[in-house]
Amino acid sequence: MRWSRAFIPTLKEAPSEAIAPSHQLLVRGGFIRQVAAGIYEFLPLGLKVLKKIENIVREEMNKAGAQEVLLTVLNPRELWEETGRWELYGDELFKLQDRHGRDFCLGPTHEEEITDLVRKEVKSYKDLPLILYQIQTKFRDEKRPRFGLIRAREFLMKDAYSFDTDYKGAEEAYNLMGETYERIFSRIGLKYLRVLADTGQIGGKKSEEFVALTPYGEAKVAHCEKCGYAANAEIVPVQKPTPEGEEEKPLQKVHTPNVRTIEELAKFLNVPPRKILKSLLYIVEGKPVLVLIRGDREVDENKLERVLGTDNFRLATDEEIKEILGTERGFVGPINLPEGKVERILWDNSLYGVKNLVVAANEPHYHYINANPGRDFEYGEFYDLAEVQEGDPCPECGAPLRLSRGLEIGHIFLLGTRYSEPMQAYFVDRDGKEKPIVMGCYGIGVSRLMSAIVEQSYDENGIIWPINVAPFELEILPLNVTDEKQMEVAEKLYKEALNRGIDVIIDDRDERAGFKFKDADLIGIPVRIVVGRKVKDGLVEIQIRKTGERFDVPIEEALDKFEELKKELQKA
């Protein structure tokens, strides 16, 4: 490619709406452009990277024996009615009608369609096992699209589905996909964690996420350096503490004017937050539910959802607190509750066995000190509702857990018969009996990967692409295009690089050197050969984007040296 003819609209400044580094750099580097919230165009450079990622995914999937198909974007409503997801998927489903008024959706995922295909064609155990996959654009009307490609409403996904005669086979497929994912993410050059996860809306028996470690990620993961345990924070159990042996002191009511938050209270009464009982009033399916937790802990609403069995809940508003409990925010507690007003009281494990607590009095501007559950008010049902914290004991070995933020780039599910049963995807087994196919499903966010890579690999000058996914492997940069000798050498190197099959770009624009260096850094080409004054001594300079290293080599050795460097960069 000749830069003078290329469509690479780079920007000196980041657009104001971009916050995440990957979003800013992908826009500035001319990889993507936004059309609407969460909807992006891929420009030539962006598409090149996307295709390289896609091909790595494809190669590894094929190696694992999976077969590529291409399903449809437009899905008829009937298919989604069969699994109940036309309703369950909710507003995230993009719905539309054809000219006859028939309902369709734009596929957000393809369990329904693939199961439909397989149930029609697979009749016997002889047709199994089978793994099918596709790389296709998905549509989800996300509540909040964010951070460029990180959470988009239209995005490229690789989705795979496995079909087996029994759980043993399904588990083998699941494990095979897990290993395949590890190979894919390693080849792409990502630092990631494989963690246990919630099966969530998709359903099923078991699932793991692959999380790219980056501070801009949306997922919180906990991992144990001692035993290797790793899980999405929302499923990490937090154990009950050992009961305190402290002696119970007499209950005392104290005036706490306008002291509402845990921090204010801790300061005002000079007690540590862990000695404060925090009470949160939730409205669950329209009914008030009180959640109690230790002052130094936060409620994990994913855990709460599992305990409540519904996602239809939210914190009560100030008005609701007044109306239901007759008190104000900050002064809600389990003591002196008005009779029959609260549907249910849930205790977090963190409060187990704690003594002499600070508890709000359910009366504005008053708290109790030295309140003791069991003596001053009743214990209730205990549950694990707390967010895991850095240093909490590992559920496997007890060593302190570490917390990191990350970006979910892949997710594998052992589905079982969640889809095959309702959709009646049966096969006839060796024993002549009809049985439901046992399924698994496996997703990779292909376009999201592009952002994940950038999040893990950039500096103040721009992107640093791993060589396997870089838009070009090599840039040849003649400093002065009006210098005949320089151009002659640059052109010669360019043509020979093309002959050798190197993915190369030559910056043949009549621009100042600094300008061209800035652009090259921004778009992140891993290696460049600078052709400058030293050509008259038979030398060119090689520069490595990642390390900033630069050194002279004889012109005729430059491309050999590049190929050597490429191998090293692929290993790193």
Partner RNA sequence: CGGGGCGUAGCUCAGGUGGCAGAGCGCUGGCAUCGGGAGCCAGAGGUCGCGGGUUCAAGUCCCGCCGCCCCGACCA
Rounded least distance, CB 464 to RNA, Å = 12
If the CB atoms of residues 341 and 550 are measured against RNA, the closer one turns out to be 550
| CB of residue 526 to RNA, shortest distance in Å | 14
Sign of CA dihedral 200, 201, 207, 211: negative
Residue 289: name the closest of 238, 259, 299 by CA.
299
What is the amino acid identity at position 323?
E
What is the smallest separation between the CB atom of 14 and RNA, expressed in angstroms? 7
Preceding peptide of 466 cis, ω within 30°: no
| 123 contacts: CB under 8 Å, gap ≥ 6 | 427, 428
Q: Which CB, 72 or 201, lies closer to RNA?
A: 201
Q: Length of the chain in residues, anyone?
A: 572
| Helix (H) / strand (E) containing 47 | helix 44-63
Whichever of 159 and 370 has its CB closer to RNA, that residue is 159
Query: HSE of 449 in the Cβ direction (CA atoms, 13 Å)?
Result: 33
Whether residue 11 contacts residue 28, with contact meaning beta carbons closer than 8 Å, is answered with yes
Closer CB to RNA, residue 423 or residue 539? Answer: 539
Closer residue to RNA, CB minimum distance, 424 or 547:
547
Provide, rounded to whole angstroms, the least separation between the CB of residue 472 and RNA. Answer: 16
* Rounded alpha-carbon distances, angstroms, from residue 328 to 255, 345, 371, 409: 15, 18, 20, 43
Q: How far apart are CA 281 and CA 290, in angstroms?
A: 5
Q: Cβ 511 to RNA, closest distance in Å?
A: 7
Q: Residue 384 or residue 519: which is nearer to RNA going by CB?
A: 519
Contact at 8 Å (CB) between 354 and 275?
yes
- Closest contact distance (angstroms) between CB of 290 and RNA is 19
Angle, alpha carbons 430-431-432 (nearest 5°): 90
Report how far residue 526's alpha carbon sits from residue 503's, in angstroms, rounded to the nearest whole number. 11
* 367 Cβ contact list (under 8 Å, min separation 6): 253, 254, 256, 259, 265, 269, 331, 333, 358, 359, 360, 361
Using an 8 Å Cβ cutoff, are 422 and 112 in contact? no
- What tokens appear for 408 in the block? 């979910």
Minimum CB–partner distance for residue 247 and RNA (Å): 38
Identify which of residues 53 and 219 has a Cβ nearer to RNA in the complex.
219
Shortest reach from residue 476's CB to RNA, in Å: 12
CB closer to RNA out of 358 and 386 = 386
For strand 434-436 and strand 252-255, is the pairing parallel, antiparallel, or unpaired?
unpaired
CA distance 520 to 467: 14
- Alpha-carbon distance 55 to 210, whole Å? 19
CB of residue 407 vs RNA: minimum separation in angstroms?
8
Please give the Cα distance from 274 to 211 (Å, whole number). Answer: 32
Q: What three-state secondary structure class fits 505?
A: strand
Report the residue number, 226 or 512, with the smaller CB distance to RNA: 512
Q: Is the CB of 270 or the CB of 482 nearer to RNA? A: 482
Min CB(445)–RNA separation in Å: 3
In this structure, how many other beta carbons lie within 10 angstroms of the beta carbon of residue 158? 24
Distance of closest approach, residue 518 Cβ to RNA, in angstroms = 3
